Amino acid sequence: MNPVYRLCHSMAKNLARAALNFRVIHPERLIENGPALICSNHVSFFDPPLVSISFQKEIHFLARHTLYSNPIARWIFPRVNVTPIDQDRASMAGLKTAVRLLKDGHRVLIFPEGSRSPDGQLQPAAGGAGLVVAKSRAPVIPMRLFGAYEALPYGASTPRFTTVTAVVGQPLTFPEQDFPSTREGYQAISDAIMASIASIECPPDRLP
């Protein structure tokens, strides 16, 4: 973990614990060594850092290239493992980047829904996550964030103080013979990942 990532990781963890009473349920299910595709619901701008601080070791992210529009972002993002992708021109480039990172042994975060939920509810999965799994053969870590939407919902500019919890599901593997390398096969994997995320429950005492 490079010094900038370590500093940001530590600051984000301390802030999340203080302001959001943040806690990870079933951290023993996280894969800290070797490749893994991290798949979480997506309800808030807080989601990437919250997933990151759930891990002890560093993970990688994909982000819209437009976020690199200012000098500060261009300096810090590469140092915290954020890879820019041009979603408007070629979403496939981002998926190829994820596959390459996984084959290099890294842990990569992807949101199967593709974009933030406007109402905090789970949305249908796109086929991209399934394609990444099929091409990389990496295990999947399903996660679900509870309270992140309440902390910073879609369209809000001011965070709210609430309880946020990351619950880790059982890791998933998808045998190659079970899913053909077709668009339908990729979608089936994505749907299975989304179903796993949907099945994750939050302890009643941790609900926002």
Q: Which domains does the chain have, with CATH numbers?
A: 3-203 (3.40.1130.10)
3-state SS assignment for residue 179: coil
Quote the pTM value: 0.92
Structure tokens at 101: 């990172």
As a whole number of angstroms, the distance between CA 28 and CA 95 comes to 27
Successive 10-residue mean pLDDT values, the chain, 208 residues: 92 96 97 97 95 97 72 84 66 83 96 91 93 94 97 90 97 83 91 97 92
DSSP lists the bridge partners of residue 146 as: 165
Q: Give the model's pLDDT for residue 86.
A: 62
Q: Give the model's pLDDT for residue 90.
A: 44
First to last CA, the chain: 32
Choose, from 42, 60, 65, 106, the residue flagged as catalytic: 42
- Residue 42: active-site member: yes
Q: Give the model's pLDDT for residue 57.
A: 95
Is the distance from CB of 40 to CB of 51 less than 8 angstroms? yes
Q: Give the model's pLDDT for residue 89.
A: 46
Give me the helices (H) in 67-140, please: 71-76, 91-103, 128-136
